Amino acid sequence: MKHDCRSFRAALESALESPREGEPLESLSWNEHLLGCAECRALLESEEALETLLESLPAPKLPPRLARRVLARLRTAEHAREDALDRLLERAAQTQAPPGLSRRVLAGLESARAQPAEGAAEARLDALLERARAVETPGHLAQRVLAHVAEERALSRKRRPVFARASVRFALAAGLLAAFGLWAIWPAREEPARTRGLAQLPDGVDARMLEHIDVLEQWELLRRNDLDSLLSTLPRTDQLLLEMGSEEGVLGG
Amino acid sequence: MQSEYDEDPGVRWMRAWQAGDEGAFDALVEAYSPQVYALLTRFLGQRANREDLVQEVFLRVVRARERYEPSARFSTFLFRIAYNISVNETQRGIAREAGRVELGGDANARSSRTLAEFEDTRAEAPGAELERDDVVREVRAAIARLPENQRMALLLAKYEELPYSEIGEVLGTSEKAVKSMVHRARESLRESLAALLEEEEA
Ligand SMILES: [Zn+2]
């Protein structure tokens, strides 16, 4: 491309960039360069025609009373969200929670609901909002969380043969308990292809653990940006357990 | 806290709402929902759930109430949410269609459905000539075939008259990248609409 062409095209692009002042392309048609360059002339004509076509598209027709309807629906949606949370909490409360993860998750739910997140949780929410496009709970979240727990457990055992800290032991115990629960009812719920990560786990104990995580799975807020405010209410070890699952896909966007 | 966007009407309503003025949120929805609806329509075509998506956009605003801090004009913030939701919506649509194809559905179903969504033009331009309808349909279909980021960049530049720097904020990219997106979008359109463009030039 000749130097003149390049500068003409640069002028054309910047005219297209700021289309507010009158008809910017019009002024370009007097450009001297066009007298001797058929190519740039053709380009300008084609861009002008495209502008005409784009401008000829009818503006989208707005539904009547759009804003009023959106407002009304927003209010309903917020109420429905509250109701769903109430129902889930109630349902969860009816099940006897085993000591450990699920009980603390429920406590987390309650306190997340009772007090709006602040400070550090806010910062985490902001970071999450950046990352999350529309957050969706993947199918079988609970299973995948537990599969990760199992993997992590195997890894930790290799990395750290001696657990000095009680909290680490406690987290692993919770993971183990969860894995037991999953193992107990796995064949009935899951296709064989997904059992890969759990093959080494021993036989099961507690299926209620799974139900609690299922509660979470269905929990409206988990699909939303409030996930982090829930997480921030939990002890760090439990956060890790849940985050392992969420890294897997809950926050994918 | 002061910011350079305090003069933006959306930012002012947001601030007022944060300070407890519930009516300010209504004002926001009144003022911005038409713009969001129009953008979604241009971006996604005439699909049936656009109003749900507008609601979804404002639901995100509701949830951002406490932590919102203006770092751009309010419309930029809103368009960014709308873009993210739309892209997700498209991906969900593709996933649904893929599922349908696996179940023995028509492999062409997706493209024909997508185009059909861009087609409902007669309802929008009553009295327009049939010939004009065909042109509109063809232009919309060509826009619909653009990659998502190019499509949004072009729509925001063309119909919302957003400067490239702000489009960059909506798309999470640089001004320079936006420039090249718009360039490529126009190039594709000039190619796919070549026949129409020649008529237009004549
Ligand atoms: Zn030239």
Strands (E), chain A: none
A61 in any annotated domain: no
Distance of CA B81 to the CA centre of its chain: 10
pLDDT value at residue A114: 58
* Of the candidates A105, A111, A123, A122, the residue with the CA atom closest to the CA atom of residue A237: A105
Question: What does the DSSP assignment read for B36-86?
Answer: HHHHHHHHH-S-TTHHHHHHHHHHHHHHTTTT---SS-HHHHHHHHHHHHH
Q: Is CATH 1.10.3720.10 the right assignment for the domain spanning B1-117? A: no
Q: What is the mean pLDDT of each run of 10 residues along chain A (253 residues)?
A: 86 80 73 92 94 92 92 82 66 51 60 56 51 45 59 52 44 60 47 34 43 51 49 55 48 33
Rounded-to-integer distance, Cα B165 and Cα B177, Å: 10
Distance of CA A193 to the CA centre of its chain: 25
pLDDT value at residue B20: 93
Structurally, chain A folds into a number of domains equal to 2
pLDDT value at residue A230: 53
Query: Measured between beta carbons, which residues in chain A are less than 8 angstroms from residue B62?
Result: 74, 78
A172 in any annotated domain: no
A96 in any annotated domain: no
Interacting residues of A82 by C-beta distance below 8 A, sequence separation 6+: none
pLDDT above 90 as % of chain B? 63
- With bands split at pLDDT 50, 70 and 90, how would you rate the model's confidence at B132? confident
Query: Measured between beta carbons, which residues in chain A are less than 8 angstroms from residue B201?
Result: 45-46, 48-49
Say if residue B85's pLDDT is above 90. yes
Distance between Cα A14 and ligand 1 center (Å): 16
* Of the candidates A27, A57, A20, A21, the residue with the CA atom closest to the CA atom of residue A44: A27
Question: What does the DSSP assignment read for A76-120?
Answer: HHHHHHHHHHHHHHHHHHHSPPPTTHHHHHHHHHHHHHHS---TH
Q: pTM of the entire structure? A: 0.59
Please name the residue that has the structure tokens 């993210």: B84
Say if residue B28's pLDDT is above 60. yes
A214 in any annotated domain: yes
- In this structure, which residues have their CB less than 5 angstroms from ion ligand 1? A 5, 37, 40
Interface of B with A in 92-111 (CB under 8 A): none
Domain housing A28: 3-55
Rounded-to-integer distance, Cα A16 and Cα A53, Å: 14
A42 in any annotated domain: yes
Alpha-carbon distance B86 to nearest alpha carbon in chain A (angstroms): 9
Residue, of B111 and A151, whose pLDDT is higher: A151
Is the ipTM reported for this complex over the cut 0.90? no
Lowest mean pLDDT among A143-152, A218-227, B31-40, B62-71: A218-227
A116 in any annotated domain: no
CB contact under 8 A, B66 and A126: no
- Residue from B13, B28, B67 to probe the interface with A (highest A Cβ count within 10 Å): B67
Partner residue facing B200 (CB), from A19, A52, A69: A52
A10 in any annotated domain: yes
Interface of B with A in 163-192 (CB under 8 A): 163-164, 179, 182-183, 186, 189-190
Say if residue B81's pLDDT is above 70. yes
Rounded-to-integer distance, Cα A54 and Cα A59, Å: 11
Q: What is the mean pLDDT of residues B61-88?
A: 92
CB contact under 8 A, A62 and B37: yes
- With bands split at pLDDT 50, 70 and 90, how would you rate the model's confidence at B121? very low
pLDDT single digits (tens) B139-198? 999 999 999 999 999 999 999 989 999 999 999 999 999 999 999 999 999 999 999 998
CB of A151 within 8 Å of a chain B CB? The answer is: no
In the CATH hierarchy, which fold is given to the domain comprising B125-202? Arc Repressor Mutant, subunit A (1.10.10)
Residue, of B106 and A54, whose pLDDT is higher: A54
pLDDT value at residue A185: 47
Q: What is the mean pLDDT of residues B37-66?
A: 91
Rounded-to-integer distance, Cα A225 and Cα A160, Å: 34
Domain ranges in chain B are 1-117, 125-202
A125 in any annotated domain: no
Partner residue facing A69 (CB), from B51, B200, B201: B51
Q: How far is CA B155 from CA A134, B115, B144, in A?
A: 22, 18, 11
CB of A82 within 8 Å of a chain B CB? The answer is: no
pLDDT value at residue A191: 37
